[in-house]
Amino acid sequence: MIEHKKSCHETRTSERGNAIAATLVILIIAGVGFFAYKSGKLDTILAKSDSSANGAVEIAAAEPEKPKNENPVLAKLYGDEIKRQDVLALVNTMPAQMQQIPPEQLFSLALEQIINNKVIDNNAASSGLENDADVLKQLEGVKVQIVRNKFLQNTVKSKLTDERLKAEYEQYLANFQDVEEVKVAHILVDNEKLAKDLIEKLKKGEAFADLAKENSQDGSAEDGGDLGYFAKTDVVPAFAEAAFALEAGTYSKVPVKTDFGFHIIKVDEKRKRPPAPFEDAKPYMEKELQRVILDEMIAELKADVVIERFDINGNPIAKTEPAAGSEGTVEDTSAEADAAVTPMDAPDEDGVAVEGAVE
C-alpha cells in the first residue's frame, strides 16, 4: 500500500531528490502542477516583463525604485480588472496536455480566454437565459452533485481518524519486507578506453567525485556521480549485478557495460531499506483509506435499503432486503450494482480529497 517513491537509474535519482537529467534516468513525478513548473521559465518571463514592457525606456538608476506589484492588472473591460493571479489560477486548472505548451504562450492563451469569457458573459447576462428551463435543470443537477460530494467529504473526514491512520501504519510495518539496498555513485562515459583510464587514475588515488564531475556524461556528474540508494530491481540488470557484487567502500576495477555506455561504479554503503516514517507514509495512507472508507460507507448505507434490480429488458433479476436490525451489509447479486459516485480530484477547504470514485 505504501510505496517508496524512487526515481530509477534507467534508473535513479538520489534520495535527496536531485534530478539526474540524462538518458539513463527516468524520473517518476506524480502530480506536478503548473506552479511547480512555472517556478523556472514562467517566473523568468514575468520578471522580464516587469522590468521592460514593449521596449520601454528603463528608469534612471538614480530614481527611487517603486515597490514591485506582485499582482498587476493585465487587462480591463466593462469596469472589471483582470490580474496576473487570475490568469495563473486559470492556468493551474488546465489539463496536463495544455500545460506542456511553452509558458509564455500558455499565459497569453489563458489571459485571452478570460477576456473572451467576460465578453461572452456580458452578452449572455442580457439574454434572459437565467430562467431558461434547460439552464435551471442543469443547475439543479450541479447542486445535487455538489451536495453529494460535500456529504462524502464530510463523512470521509469524520472517519479518517488518527487512530485509523496509526493502525494502518502498524499494519504496514508488520508487512514490510526486507529489501537490500546499496548507495552508489558512478561515472558514465561513452567509450571503454576512457573508462579504463579513469580507473587507473582512481588506483593512483584521485578522488572519485572529482573524476565524476570532470568526466561523467550523466546528469549526476555535478553531484560527484551520486545516485543515492536503490534496490536490485530499480536498475538495469548489468548495473545491479555489478553494484551488489561490490563491497562497501570499493569501486569496479573493470568498466561495466550497459546500453547507456561504460560505468565505473562505486558502492558507498549497503543496508536494508528502512520503512517509511509515519509522516512520510501518511499522505499515501490517507489516499488509500479514503477509498476504503468510501466502500465501507456505501455498503453500510445500502444495507438499509430495499433494492430491486432488473436486466436490460426490464425483467426482475435480484432484490436485496435491509439486514436484520438495519445493520450489516447485504451483498448485491449484480456486478453493476453500484451507481457511480462522482469523483473529486480537488480537496475541499479542509484538505480532504475524495478520490477514486466508487464504481
- For residue 56, count CB atoms less than 10 angstroms from its CB and return exposed for 0-12, middle for 13-18, buried for 19 or more: exposed
Q: Report the number of distinct structural domains present in the chain.
A: 2
Q: Which three cell numbers stand for residue 48?
A: 522580464
Is the pLDDT confidence value at 57 over 70?
no
In contact, 13 and 185? CB cutoff 8 Å: no
Percentage of the residues of the chain whose pLDDT score is greater than 90: 64
**Could you tell me if residue 198 is inside a domain?**
yes
92 inside domain: yes
Task: Calculate mean pLDDT across residues 233-239.
Answer: 95
Is residue 195 one of the residues assigned to a domain?
A: yes
Question: Is position 345 within any domain?
Answer: no
Same domain, 267 and 186: yes
Query: Per-residue confidence at 39, pLDDT binned at 50, 70, 90?
Result: very low
Indicate if 110 and 186 belong to the same structural domain.
no
Pair (184, 268) in one structural domain: yes
Residue 322: the pLDDT is 72
Contact in structure between 227 and 220 (CB atoms under 8 Å): yes
* 107 located within any domain: yes
Do 111 and 190 belong to one domain? no
Please give the Cα distance from 91 to 37 (Å, whole number): 11
Last residue within a domain, chosen from 272, 295, 310 = 272
Q: 240, 272, 304: which is the final residue of a domain?
A: 272
* Domain contains 263: yes
* Cβ 254 vs Cβ 211: under 8 Å: no
Given 257, 272, 287, the domain boundary residue is 272
The three-state secondary structure class of 345 is coil
In which domain, by residue range, is 246 found?
Answer: 180-272
Residues 266, 187 share a domain: yes
Look up residue 267 and give its three cell numbers: 558502492
Burial class (CB in 10 A: 0-12, 13-18, 19+), 209: middle
Residue 197 φ/ψ, nearest 5 degrees: -60, -40
- Rounded distance between C-alpha atoms, residue 260 and residue 25, angstroms: 10
- Per-residue pLDDT tens over the stretch 133-144: 999 999 999 999
- Looking at the structure, tell me whether residues 117 and 185 fall in a common domain: no
| Confidence at residue 318, expressed as pLDDT on a 0 to 100 scale | 72
CATH of the domain at 196: 3.10.50.40
For 68-126, what is each residue's pLDDT tens digit? 778 999 999 999 999 999 999 999 999 988 888 999 999 999 999 999 999 999 999 98
Q: What share of the chain is helix, strand, coil (3-state, %, to 5)?
A: 45, 15, 40
84 three-state secondary structure: helix
- Examine the pLDDT at 4 and tell me if it is beyond 50: no
The residue with greater pLDDT, 263 or 47, is: 263
Is the model's pLDDT at 60 over the cut of 60?
no
Give the chain's length. 359
Report residue 189: phi and psi, to 5°.
-135, 165
Task: Classify residue 1: in a domain, yes or no.
Answer: no
Per-residue pLDDT at 17 exceeds 80: no
Residue 358 pLDDT: 35
Residue 267: inside a domain = yes
pLDDT at 198 exceeding the cut of 90: yes
